[in-house]
């Protein structure tokens, strides 16, 4: 039996459109996977570098991003801010707050850095009830990881004006600088130290940046598969129409 292929313009145009879409989106997901693989290597390199001391020397925010840093100074006790709706892995999915507090750097004149001191659970009986958390007295030396900004969550409603003891869902370091009038370095320090509960009752288990390299690769495969399936379907239906015409 002789195979016959019947060409049809409408299925052909639809197939070309699907193939182009699959290849374009597959390539985009593949590039995202490559970018995040490079970022993963970058983070590992930054994490293995010796800690950078914050002080007199001006720091390029891009150069310090995801670097370990050390700073000596004092916490600004009267300017705590709380990030709301922050779950923490390993604590039964409990939601809580992240305590942010400016830190005056001793080795620099009028220079502050915003520090994420740690996480604490929400009071199940009263959402806005904040426990009395101790603030270290005197000069302290802290260590941490420099990040561009706090992780963002879905914003529910309108954010209240930023003020001491405010509970907010999202903010930028520049927001705290404007509201407080303090000269802030343009990044946040996620304080590290004790991986479990620290003596001040705060948890310092910060999630790593979400890279999801495998997810992007999986999406790329799905888009490429769509393009291949569109070609196969067009060929199969063309031969089927050819047999029906011959019959």
Q: What is the pLDDT along the chain (247 residues), one digit of tens a residue?
A: 566 777 788 888 888 888 999 999 999 988 888 887 777 777 677 767 788 888 866 677 777 888 889 999 999 999 999 998 877 654 556 788 999 999 999 877 789 999 999 998 887 777 778 888 888 888 989 999 998 888 877 776 677 789 999 998 889 999 999 999 999 999 999 998 754 445 677 888 887 766 577 788 888 899 999 989 989 888 888 777 767 665 5
Longest Cα separation, the chain: 93
Domain that residue 163 falls in: 67-191
**Residues 79 and 121 placed together within one structural domain of the fold:** yes
Distance CA 184, CA 148 (A): 12
Output the pLDDT for position 165.
92
Q: What is the SS3 assignment for 221? A: helix
Identify the pLDDT of residue 44: 72
Whether residues 231 and 187 fall in one domain: no
Asked whether residue 137 falls in the same domain as residue 175, the answer is: yes
Does a structural domain hold residue 175? yes
Residues 102 and 154 occupy one common structural domain: yes
Instruction: Tell me the pTM.
Output: 0.69
Residues near 143 by Cβ (< 8 Å), separated by ≥ 6? 51, 68, 69, 70, 191, 192, 193
- Give pLDDT, residue 105: 92
Residues 97 and 130: beta-carbon distance below 8 Å: yes
Residue 98 counted as domain residue: yes
* pLDDT given for residue 196 in this prediction: 42
* Residue 138 resides in a domain: yes
Q: What's the total number of domains in the chain? A: 2
Q: Note whether 149 and 219 are same-domain residues.
A: no
Question: What pLDDT shows up at residue 195?
Answer: 46
Q: Do 82 and 162 fall within a single domain?
A: yes
In-domain check, residue 151: yes
Indicate whether 113 and 162 sit together in one domain: yes
Going by their DSSP bridges, the two strands 140-147 and 167-168 should be labelled as: unpaired
Is there a single domain that holds both residue 109 and residue 170?
yes
């Amino acid at each position: 039996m002789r195979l016959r292929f019947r060409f049809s313009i409408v299925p052909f145009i639809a197939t070309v459109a699907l193939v182009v879409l699959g290849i374009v989106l597959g390539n985009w997901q593949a590039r995202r996977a490559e970018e995040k693989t490079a970022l993963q290597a970058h983070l590992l390199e930054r994490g293995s570098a010796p800690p950078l001391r914050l002080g007199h020397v001006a720091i390029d925010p891009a150069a310090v991003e995801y670097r370990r840093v050390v700073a000596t100074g004092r916490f600004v006790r009267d300017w705590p801010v709380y990030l709301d709706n922050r779950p923490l892995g390993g604590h039964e999915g409990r939601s809580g707050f992240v305590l942010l507090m400016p830190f005056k750097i001793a080795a620099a004149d009028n220079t502050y850095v915003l520090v994420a001191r740690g996480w604490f659970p929400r009071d199940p009986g009263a959402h806005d009830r904040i426990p009395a958390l101790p603030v270290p007295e005197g000069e302290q030396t802290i260590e941490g990881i420099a990040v561009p900004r706090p992780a963002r969550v879905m914003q529910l409603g309108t954010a209240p004006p930023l003020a001491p003891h405010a509970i907010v869902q999202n903010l930028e370091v520049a927001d705290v600088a404007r509201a407080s009038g303090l000269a802030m370095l343009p990044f946040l320090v996620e304080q590290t130290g004790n991986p479990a509960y620290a003596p001040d009752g705060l948890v310092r288990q910060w999630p790593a940046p979400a890279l999801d390299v495998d997810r992007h690769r999986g999406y790329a495969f799905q888009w490429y598969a769509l393009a291949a399936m569109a070609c196969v379907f067009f060929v199969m239906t063309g031969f089927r129409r050819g047999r029906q015409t011959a019959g």
